[in-house]
Structure 1
Amino acid sequence: MKKALTFLGTMVLTLAIGVTIGQVSQADTPSAPGSADDPIVTKSYVDQKLAGVGSGGNTGGAPTGGSTTDASFKVVTLNPGQTLKGGEGAEFILRGGTATAIASTNGGVSDVTGADDLAQGANVELNHLLLTPRNDGRGLKVGSSTAYVLVRGSYTVQ
């Protein structure tokens, strides 16, 4: 019986020493990259960068440097016979009424929605996005009824 107790005590002691050595050796090994113990970036770093996004800096609304234009569309009401000529990069959407395209010697008005180049006098479709690439007199001429046009960018009404 004494032999069995001695053997059992030796086994328990050996097991305890083995577990202790295993724990000590694991403490020296580095954690896996990206784990909670060794993150690729710290949470405080991410929080700091996110806090800076809303305050100052370029927030994406307008480009930095140079001149900027309003990013939203304006509703322009045009009477029959009036013309709307766009500046460089101006965008138009005819929402109501009728209109025809005004082209220039450099080409027509770009119909982005219809993937077409509207020549002089071509009918403008409702709800199509139109683009004037240059400030060379391209635009719209209103037909027989009042027209409502959404405009983004520089333009003149005559």
Structure 2
Amino acid sequence: MKNLFSKAITVIFVLALVICITPVYAEPGGSDDPLITLSYVEDVLIPQMKSYVDSSVANSSAGSQNVTVEGGTYFNVVNVSKGQTIIGDRSCQMILRMGSGKIVATKKGGIADVTLGYDLPDGVDAPSNHLLIIPVDDGRGIKMTSDGIIMICGSYSVKR
């Protein structure tokens, strides 16, 4: 009885060992049974990838060109002289790049400085390199106190 019991334990142990070792040494695919054939990679997958990359490059190149849309979707660099006032229409965006100026506001409010999150009232110094937005078309802008450069996106007028 003891002999039969030890033979049964030995057989169970050997079977368990074979079952555990077989997946470790199994190949996911071989030359006789590959997961993906070489012809599929060369004929289908690589051309699809090349086509995708080419279309992505073409789309990004087209997007980098300046496109003029009514109202202006890009910034114009404007040289302004001391004493000139740049008045922006509604939704006009300005960045004072060089020089100095004072904010021109109205009774309805000032100019939005979205860089710092403030409303700039009439008469304060216009901050350099801050994105300023004119909310409505009521005469708001920047009066230059020296010669300078302003980047402007949107409609505007220059007054002396």
Give the TM-score normalised by structure 1: 0.59
Q: 8 Å contact 1:53–1:59 — kept in the other structure?
A: no
Q: 8 Å contact 2:102–2:143 — kept in the other structure?
A: yes
- Structure 2: runs of 5+ lacking an equivalent: 1-25
Deviates more, 1:126-135 or 1:51-60: 51-60
- Give the corresponding residue for 1:46: 49
Task: Measure the CA separation in 2 of the matches of 1:111 and 1:146.
Answer: 21
Task: Measure the CA separation in 2 of the matches of 1:82 and 1:130.
Answer: 18
Deviation at residue 157 of structure 1 after TM alignment: 0.7
Among 81, 86, 89, the alignment partner of 2:83 is 81
Task: Measure the CA separation in 1 of the matches of 2:72 and 2:95.
Answer: 17
- Give the corresponding residue for 2:115: 113
Deviation at residue 86 of structure 1 after TM alignment: 1.7
Would you say 1:151 and 2:152 are equivalent positions? yes
Task: Measure the CA separation in 2 of the matches of 1:27 and 1:97.
Answer: 72
Deviation at residue 56 of structure 1 after TM alignment: 6.4
| Residues 75/102 of structure 1: CA separation in 2 closer, same or farther (3 Å cut) | same
Task: Measure the CA separation in 2 of the matches of 1:81 and 1:117.
Answer: 23
Task: Measure the CA separation in 2 of the matches of 1:113 and 1:126.
Answer: 11
Task: Measure the CA separation in 2 of the matches of 1:157 and 1:68.
Answer: 17
Calculate percent identity across the aligned residue pairs. 30
Deviation at residue 105 of structure 1 after TM alignment: 4.5
Task: Measure the CA separation in 1 of the matches of 2:48 and 2:154.
Answer: 39
Cα RMSD (Å): 3.7
- Structure 1: runs of 5+ lacking an equivalent: 1-21
Matches within 5 A, 1:87-98: 87-98=89-100
Paired positions, count: 128
CA deviation digits over 1:84-126, x for unaligned, max 9? 0123332222223221112234431111222211111121122
Among 102, 114, 117, the alignment partner of 1:100 is 102
Task: Measure the CA separation in 2 of the matches of 1:85 and 1:102.
Answer: 8
CA deviation digits over 1:42-68, x for unaligned, max 9? 332232133223446994458x9x746
Instruction: Select the structure that is richer in helix.
Output: 2
Q: 8 Å contact 1:90–1:154 — kept in the other structure?
A: yes
Task: Measure the CA separation in 1 of the matches of 2:61 and 2:158.
Answer: 33
Task: Measure the CA separation in 2 of the matches of 1:36 and 1:118.
Answer: 67
| Residues 137/28 of structure 1: CA separation in 2 closer, same or farther (3 Å cut) | farther
Give the TM-score normalised by structure 2: 0.58
